[in-house]
Amino acid sequence: MAEIAIELTGIDKRFGDVHANRNVSLTIYQGSIHGIIGENGAGKSTLMSILYGYYQADSGHIQVRQQPVHIRNSHDAIRLGIGMVHQHFMLVDNFSVLENIVLGAEGGFTLKSGLDAARIHLKQLNQDYGLEVDPDAIVGQLGVGLQQRVEILKALYRGAEVLILDEPTAVLTPQEADHLFRILRALRDQGKTVVIITHKLREVIDVTDRVTVMRAGEVVGNVMTADVDKEDLADLMVGRKVNLQVEKSTRTPGEVLLDVRHVSLKDKRGVELLKDINLQVRAGEIVGIAGVSGNGQSELLEVLAGMLPASEGEMLFKGEDLFRLKGHRPKPSILREKGVAHIPEDRSREGLVKTFSVFENSILGYHHDRDIQKGWLYNRTALIEKAKRFIQQFDIRPTNPLLRAGQLSGGNQQKVVLAREIDSNPDVLLVGQPTRGVDIGAIELIHKQLVKLRDEGKAILLVSVELDEILALSDRILVMAGGRITGEVPAHEATATGLGCLMGGVQS
């Protein structure tokens, strides 16, 4: 029987009226990879934040290597051999790898002596775990996969025996994710303990030894990974039967509704963010754009939605040129009037006003519609009824339309944005990261809605870093790397490996 690395007993945590953790008990064994999964608001991140010292539990006990401990902050956690790699990396871009790793733990009488000692230690860590990172490389010039390895090295350099990773593959290509899993297995094989917080069931099945499933702040399952499959885990997470397969019939696309020609974009420094983008989206099809985050997909959506002016190019909607030549952009309000809707990538900054109520957010961008006006004023009753309809159709929780949007979970905020844009009955829908941070039950609903629109003859341009989502929903797949389209593949011919090569900039 393996020794116990971490034991949490009766952990309880409230944030006001929100009961985030409810009497949670969890055992993590030394030399294992342990997955923690659950829907939005299930309490998994709160639990790991308590273990790493970000939060203090209201009640309960923590043992590390079978010794009772009190973890007041992250310094206590690090001293106890617990490290954490966050989803958003905490690195200094213009420092070298070596400088980032020793930052805050320089050691030595002088900085040089500390760096020299760290270089020797780092070389050994690279060899032991196959991390393959150049200590003299500038971090800002590294890809996200290598930056993540720097974060892992930071934790190991500080003596981590237990390594917590929060959504570790969110920004990686399939090949980078596979390499990460090899590193995690090497860490496990040498006695380290790895804890992964993730919503990607395939990864849980592929890389973990044990899985803890949380729902509504409670542990609802502790299982050996070998004893379950994705469907079992999904059902445990949601508390009902979940269909993980996107049901989508074959369709013949209709006329071209969106025609993007030679679109380029330069920033204020003259750096080219988009390079001669050409694409078409037809009625009754979903065109997916795959790529690692930061390769121009966000900028492309913002140009097409009228949020950024293109430097060059044109966009035709039903044959009508909506912008031409550099420095011009169509107003988002005009796009909406013509039938182009936009679900932005960042719902918090671009899709919602979180201090506004749900019913007020339900008309953002559509506030000139006559059916919600009463003379010079808005018809409050009509607004609330509209929001109630959205709540029912999209299963938005809580069901109170008077609540501020900021009081909803991220997944329910996303449903508000989706309901508003889909309700406008657009001919073209621009969709950015529709299920980012969304739990598996909401993912199922969102995917059904997008397929329903496609079957009604709408043209959908989908941007997602989730390769499984692109493969499941798309009829055609475009891949972007370095601001260019590096390939186009019919969905039925696409493979994760082939798309991963294109995502890495390898031309088809």
pLDDT tens across 457-494, in order? 999 999 998 888 999 999 999 999 999 999 999 999 99
pLDDT of residue 109: 52
Cα separation, 208 vs 175, whole angstroms? 18
402 class by beta-carbon count within 10 Å (0-12 exposed, 13-18 middle, 19+ buried): exposed
> Which residue spans within 70-207 are E strands per DSSP?
82-85, 162-166, 193-197
Least confident of 5-9, 23-27, 83-87: 83-87
Q: What order of strands is seen across the sheet that includes strand 312-317? A: 272-282, 256-266, 312-317, 320-324
pLDDT of residue 459: 98
pLDDT of residue 391: 93
Least confident of 78-87, 106-115, 403-412: 106-115
Cα separation, 111 vs 121, whole angstroms? 15
**Top-confidence residue, 215 or 438:** 215
pLDDT of residue 324: 57
Span 302-329, pLDDT tens digits: 999 999 888 999 899 998 887 654 556 7
Enter the tokens of residue 406: 């900021």
Contact present, 417 and 351 (Cβ < 8 Å): yes
The set of residues, in sequence order, having a beta carbon less than 8 Å from that of 77 and lying 6+ positions away, is 51, 52, 53, 71, 83, 84
pLDDT of residue 325: 47
Alpha-carbon dihedral angle through residues 120, 124, 129, 133, given to the nearest 10 degrees: 30
Residue 110 in this model has a pLDDT that exceeds 60: no
Provide, rounded to the nearest whole percent, the portion of the chain with pLDDT above 90: 54
Query: Residue 39: which pLDDT band, with cuts at 50, 70 and 90?
Result: confident
Q: What order of strands is seen across the sheet that includes strand 218-224? A: 82-85, 162-166, 193-197, 33-38, 210-215, 218-224
Number of Cα atoms under 13 Å in the Cβ half of residue 399: 7
The strand pairing partners of 222, in sequence order, are 212
Provide, rounded to the nearest whole percent, the portion of the chain with pLDDT above 70: 95
pLDDT of residue 194: 97
**Top-confidence residue, 376 or 40:** 376
Enter the tokens of residue 63: 């043992």
- Mean pLDDT along residues 215-243: 89
The interaxial angle of helices 230-238 and 440-455, nearest 10 deg, is 100
- Mean pLDDT along residues 415-431: 95
Enter the tokens of residue 408: 């909803």
pLDDT of residue 410: 74
First to last CA, the chain: 50
Domains of the chain: 4-238 (3.40.50.300), 243-339+426-508 (3.40.50.300), 351-425 (no CATH)
Span 281-303, pLDDT tens digits: 999 999 999 988 778 999 999 99
- Mean pLDDT along residues 430-458: 88
Least confident of 4-8, 288-292, 309-313, 498-502: 498-502
Residue 204 in this model has a pLDDT that exceeds 60: yes
pLDDT of residue 15: 86
Residue 368 in this model has a pLDDT that exceeds 60: yes
The strand pairing partners of 6, in sequence order, are 28, 64
Least confident of 25-34, 49-58, 80-89: 80-89
pTM across the whole model = 0.72
Give the chain's mean pLDDT: 89
